[in-house]
């Protein structure tokens, strides 16, 4: 029972959970398809997989989907994806819960752990690529050399290794094509604890 979910299976499951929370009853296959933009036959395939893996049970009726809390998700937490982070030139920081991503509970050391979508290739030598999800543990301080989510004076944010030197901070990329960023005032918002990549 259990087993990893594909991105679409996870999206279907989250859609059902949200629908139940908002409407007070489970959605029909057609309603799920309308929300996630999939044909009913495709939704049916995902529901088959979710039932096989032990996440839901179906009664055969139109709205007969029951979400099971039976330990199939044990050891997994759903971390919110709250925006993007630059691994390149800094980008404007914003926080908006876009979706969630299931991760092993060991990769989410705190209940306020969050995920950011990486944009750019400045950390590529640390195997952090454009489009990856970085799992971030919130903290206001990091050790020298840790990969930090750093907010700059102008409200932009970037993902870099942080070093303190000579009264300033050096934000070091992991790509020879990029220069370090030097700043006097950097606010640390967290440090990277894991990278997730869709193959």
* 3-state DSSP assignment of residue 38: coil
Has 53 been annotated as catalytic? no
CB distance 134 to 85 below 8 Å: yes
Candidates 110, 121, 104; CA nearest to 196 is 104
CA 123 vs. chain centroid, Å, equals 18
Q: Who's near 34: CB < 8 A, 6+ residues apart? A: none
Catalytic residue flag (residue 28):
no
Considering only CA atoms, which of 116, 91, 87 is closest in space to residue 175? Answer: 87
DSSP, collapsed to helix, strand or coil, labels residue 165 as strand
Q: Which of 53, 62, 105, 122 is catalytic?
A: 122
41 alpha-carbon distance from chain centroid: 28
d(CA 108, CA 110): 6
Identify the active-site residue in 28, 105, 111, 160: 160
Q: Known catalytic residues?
A: 122, 160
């Amino acid at each position: 029972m259990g087993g990893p979910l594909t991105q679409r299976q996870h999206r279907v499951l989250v859609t059902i959970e949200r629908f139940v929370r908002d409407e007070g009853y489970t959605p029909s296959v057609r309603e799920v398809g309308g929300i996630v933009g999939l044909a009913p036959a495709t939704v049916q395939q995902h529901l088959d997989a979710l039932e096989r893996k032990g996440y839901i049970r179906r009664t055969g009726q139109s709205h007969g989907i029951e979400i099971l809390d039976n330990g199939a998700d044990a050891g997994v937490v759903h971390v919110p994806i709250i925006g993007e982070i630059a691994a390149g030139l800094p980008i404007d920081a914003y926080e908006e819960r876009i979706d969630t991503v299931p991760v092993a509970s060991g990769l989410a050391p705190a209940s306020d752990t969050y995920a950011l979508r990486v944009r750019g290739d400045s950390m590529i030598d640390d195997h952090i690529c454009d489009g990856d999800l970085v799992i971030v543990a919130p903290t206001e301080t990091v050790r020298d050399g840790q990969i930090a989510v750093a907010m700059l004076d102008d409200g932009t944010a970037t993902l870099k290794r942080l070093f303190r030197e000579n009264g300033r901070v050096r934000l070091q990329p992991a790509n020879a094509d990029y220069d370090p960023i030097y700043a006097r005032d950097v606010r640390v918002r967290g440090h990277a604890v894991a990278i997730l990549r869709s193959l």
